[in-house]
Structure formats: C-alpha cells, structure tokens
Amino acid sequence: MKVAVIGIGYVGLVSGTCFAEWGNEVVCVDKHAEKILGLQQGKLPIYEPGLDELVERNYAEGRLSFTSDIAKAVKDAVAVFVAVGTPPRPGRGDADLSFVYMAAREIAPLLAENAVVVVKSTVPVGTGDAVEKIIATKRRRGTFSVASNPEFLREGVAIGDFLKPDRVVIGVADERAREVLMEIYGAPLAKVDAPIVVVQRRTSELIKYASNAFLATKITFINELADLCEQVGSDVGELALGVGLDKRIGTSFLNAGPGYGGSCFPKDTLALLRTAQDHGVALRIVQEAVSVNEARKRKMALKVIDAVGGDVDGLTIAVLGLTFKPDTDDMREAPSVPLIETLQRFGAVVRAHDPVGMDNAAQLLENVELLEDPYECAREADAVVIVTEWNSIQHLDLVRLRRMMRSPILVDLRGAFKAGRAEAAGFYVCAVGRPATRPVKLAPDLFDTRYRLPGANAPSGRGILGGRYDH
C-alpha cells in the first residue's frame, strides 16, 4: 500500500520508517529542504537508537523515500498520515493547530479517490471534525475519510514501541477508514499479539491526552512521596517497589526524580487543561500535577544548594546529563535547564556534559561550559549533579570522578547509582527519595582542599571547613 507521511519530525520519521519496514511504499514529505537532503544522504535530523539503520535499509530497498513535493507524496496514496507539530501556544497552553490545518488545506485537492487522511499528531478533541470540514471545502470532487491514530512513542525506545506496541488506537467515523487502517496495522500487530482499539474519532483524540495526563500525575505522585521519604528516613526505591507490585498500580513511572519533561507530558497536560476549561470542566488533579512538576524542577536547585552547605555563590557545579531522559537528544522541557538557570542566579559557575544532547543544549543554556568528557567536566568542581541517567554516566569510574573534584559531593537526582556505591567511592551523597548519606571511606590525601558539608559553619559560603572531612 502507498502511504504518505506529512512532517518528518520525531513522530513522522519513526512512523514512516516503520510503515516501510512492514512492507508499505512510504513517501515522507517535509517543507524543510535541508532535512530532505540530509535524509537522502543518510543524515537523520533526530537521535533515536536503531532508527538510522532502519532508515538506511528501507531507503536502499526502495520502500522509503523523502521529498519536499507534497503532490508527489500524496499522489495515489491510500492513506495520508498527518504528523506535523502541535506545540503549545505561548502564554495560553492550548495546542497550536496551524500546521495541521495547513497540511489539510494543501493535501485536499491532491487526495486520491477514497483516500484516508489520518491525523497522527497529538490534537485536541474535535480536530478531526475541523480537518474534515477544511478538506471538504477545498476538495472539488471525490470521497475521502478522516481518522485519528495517536502515537504512543517513548523517545529512546520508539522503534520497539511502534513495531511491538502495547496497543494501537484507531478513531474512525466510517467503515472505509477502519478498513484501511486495519489493513495497515492488522497483520503486523497480529504477529506480536498487540491489540487494536477501534473507537470513535473524538474518543481516540482524547485517549492520548488522558494517557499522558495519567502518567504525568503518577510521576508527580511518586516525586512528592520521595520528599516525604527523605524527611522520615525511608527509601523511595523500596517504597515504589512495594507499591508498584500491586497489579492495579504497576511499577512503571514510579521512578522519583527532578520532574517530567520532554515533548509530550508538559505540552499534553496543558492542552488537556485548556480543553477542559473551554468546556467548563475542572481537572483539579491534572492541574495540581502540572503545578507541582514545574515547581519541582527549580526546587532541585535548592537541593543542590543545601548539599553544598547552603550557598553556591562562586562555587563550581558540574551537571552530568542534560536531555530530559536518556537515549535522546531532546532538550524540550528538560529539568536540567531550570535547575542550571536557578543555580546561576544564586551565583554558581556551571559546567555540563551530555553524551548526545549538547548541541541542542547549547541553544538553550547561556554561560555554561559544555564538555565532551565527564571527568573533565568534574575537574575542580565543588559538587557533581546527576540529572539524566545515561548508561555511560551510570558506569562512570566514581573513584576517578572523585579524584577530579575539589569537594566530594554528589547530588543524584535520578537514582543513577545504587545505594552505597558512591559512598564507597568516598562521596557524600544527596539523592532523591532517601536521606543524605556520608561516605564509607575517604582518603584525605586525594584532595588538596578541605570540605564543607551541610550543617557546617563555613564563612562566606565558599566551602572550607576548619577541620578535614574524615568520616
């Protein structure tokens, strides 16, 4: 089947490539000529593990192609997937649908007879109705269908999520749309025993927002419990296990940390709230989850400040991990940004490292030295902060890292290191969801300076204790 995909962003490129992997003839179209040229040369505009190999293979075998000519892409396509961006409108929070509506107007006169337009972008309830009206107005003749097919891709594991999904949701208003989408998804998903949920189009649109809002609330819940654990001497990791093994709850999304980020949860929760407000409905739980999450990102900077004794003015803080999660270069709504900005406002000098995301980070951060080597990033630092639990960061030589630093203070916001590991390497550890712990051992001759620990009376906040830190 010939399939067209409008938009070669994260969702469009992953979806188009996977459709081709299933044996369809897929043409991906985007207005950015540099993206098209890069893809034709094997250069991907995003980082996603395994995607480059999949693109290369399907492109070489002729199932996947890229163009900036929308007429060429849409011609004879049985299904046209709209996968353009729907960013939040500044100052309002609702989804900007201008790209979706623009795509609808452009493809309307180009659609083949009985073509199915599938909105894969995350859109508010009723968007499919609006798209249908736009196409009907612009189309001179012939029949068509409009369907909803939201994506549930997690950055870093998107290929697996697409090819072996928990479920696929299809929202249709007629039998033609159902038939075409079942032809695309039916056989491949039957092989992996993945269910296809066929619902009304408006229900499908709402499912995506409801799913992300629930997961965002779950993250916010465990983060608040983590704060309580720190105060009462409990361990949030143990708590999460005990709670998550209840099959009604599940262990996913119970990892305490600095707050959720990325392209979906922040945007989708705000858009859902806006939709609810427009219809006179109060979603108080979702509203509270959004508010708590935003406050938490900056609260993590106060955790760092407390770890070094209450004052970071003039101190050097090394931040390891910048992207909102591992295995992606995505910096959208990353907790590292407000954390760094807050530390800078309190006078800290910040250096940072990320295995993949530094190019994107450089566009968001000011006066931050970005270093390719994590050990060099930690050189002469007064504290190291773990913000993203990349595999390479989790496997750092902690003794070597400690030797590079001026003060052996580690703030682990992601639970990157098992309890006791960093302490055994000589670190004072301040983690999320468990009380701060002192090092098991520390060889004083490894350091040229003395240290201040939380609670010590240190003049001017520069981190010098009257006696050696020798616990």
CA distances from 87 to 121, 254, 274, 354 (A): 10, 27, 13, 25
377 catalytically annotated: no
The position carrying tokens 């979706």 is 100
CA distances from 83 to 12, 60, 99, 148, 334 (A): 5, 23, 9, 11, 23
Compute and round to an integer the Cα radius of gyration of the chain. 25
Distance between CA atoms of residues 230 and 429, nearest Å: 13
Burial class (CB in 10 A: 0-12, 13-18, 19+), 330: buried
CB 349 within 8 A of CB 341: no
Query: Length of the chain in residues, anyone?
Result: 471
Given the DSSP bridges, would you call strands 64-67 and 316-320 parallel, antiparallel or unpaired? Answer: unpaired
| List 18, 28, 229, 264, catalytic entry | 264
**For the chain, how long is the longest CA-to-CA vector?**
85
Distance between CA atoms of residues 95 and 137, nearest Å: 23
Q: How far is C-alpha 63 from the geometric centre of its chain's CA atoms?
A: 29
Distance between CA atoms of residues 175 and 49, nearest Å: 37
Distance between CA atoms of residues 252 and 210, nearest Å: 16
Q: In 88-235, where does DSSP find H-type helix?
A: 98-107, 127-138, 158-163, 175-191, 201-232
CB 343 within 8 A of CB 309: no
**Residue 79 burial (CB count, 10 A):** 24
Distance between CA atoms of residues 416 and 427, nearest Å: 14
Beta strands per DSSP E along 111-173? 115-119, 144-148, 168-172
**Residue 27 burial (CB count, 10 A):** 24
Phi-psi region of 321 (alpha: psi -120 to 50; beta: other; left: phi over 0): left
The tokens for 182 are 């079942």
User: Any residues with CB less than 8 A from the CB of 164 and at least 6 apart, and which?
Assistant: 192, 194
DSSP per-residue letters across 363-399:
TT-SS-EE-S-HHHHTTT-SEEEE-S--HHHHT--HH
Catalytic residue ranges = 264
